[in-house]
Structure 1
Amino acid sequence: MARINDVGGTQGFGAVDITDDAEPFHADWEARVVGLLNALREQGLFNTNEFRDAIESMPPTEYLSTSYYERWFEAIRILLERKGVLKPGELDAR
């Protein structure tokens, strides 16, 4: 079963942007998400495969409507809930 991130051979997404962007982050929060990811992985809370699976399991409309680092943050939230660190919906309440 293909997931939304597996678009090989699919048409209709437009041209691929091949311009080189020298900036790794466009907002401070993006760098913080990377730092959070690295800290949680170093603590052994989850691994890279679990993180990737969490991103790839996002509903298609959500996956396509979010930016790269928004997907990362959502995957971290999903994993923190799966691991019992956060209660479901806890971040939404804040």
Structure 2
Amino acid sequence: MNGVFDLGGRQGFGQVVVPDEEPKFHDEWEREIFGVIMMYFMSGLCPLDQFRHAIEKMEPTEYLSTPYYVHWLRAAETVGIENGIFTAEELEERVRVLAENGAQ
């Protein structure tokens, strides 16, 4: 199945530029979402295939317009809901509380 995530060899997306000193994480939230996904894997809450599929289910526009670790964040949200770790309502409430308290 080809989807928006299968860009290898496609024309029109420009050259991939990799800086010489690319950091592993550009911001602390990226490090944190990496840790969340590793916790999912190590605790058996999410198989790798389910994680990959969760990324592949992202809306194409969001997938193409967001950085790499946003894909991981969306996968953590999707898998968390699908596997009963939390509900969509609990996630929405947590996001609301964080936004009210000035969290970024």
Q: TM-score scaled by structure 2?
A: 0.80
What is aligned with 1:5?
Answer: 5
How many residue pairs end up in the alignment?
94
Contact 1:63 1:71 survives alignment (8 Å): yes
What is aligned with 1:35?
Answer: 35
70-79 or 51-60: bigger deviation: 51-60
Distance across 2 between alignment mates of 1:33 and 1:51? 13
User: What do the CA deviations read for 1:17-51 (whole angstroms, capped 9, x no partner)?
Assistant: 13333411111111011111111211100111111
Is the counterpart of residue 77 in structure 1 residue 77 in structure 2?
Answer: yes
Which consecutive aligned stretches of 4+ in structure 1 deviate over 3 angstroms post-superposition?
Answer: none
What is aligned with 1:53?
Answer: 53
List runs of 5+ in structure 1 lacking aligned partners. Answer: none
Which AA in structure 1 matches 2:79?
A: L
Which AA in structure 2 matches 1:27?
A: D
Query: Which has a greater percent of helix?
Result: 2
Identity among equivalent positions (%) equals 39
Relative distance call for 1:89 and 1:7 in structure 2 (3 A) is: farther
Alpha-carbon shift at residue 9 of structure 1 (Å): 3.4
SS in 2 for 1:91: helix
What is aligned with 2:102?
Answer: none
Contact 1:3 1:57 survives alignment (8 Å): no
Q: TM-score scaled by structure 1?
A: 0.88
Which AA in structure 1 matches 2:36?
A: L
What is aligned with 1:20?
Answer: 20
Alpha-carbon shift at residue 89 of structure 1 (Å): 4.5
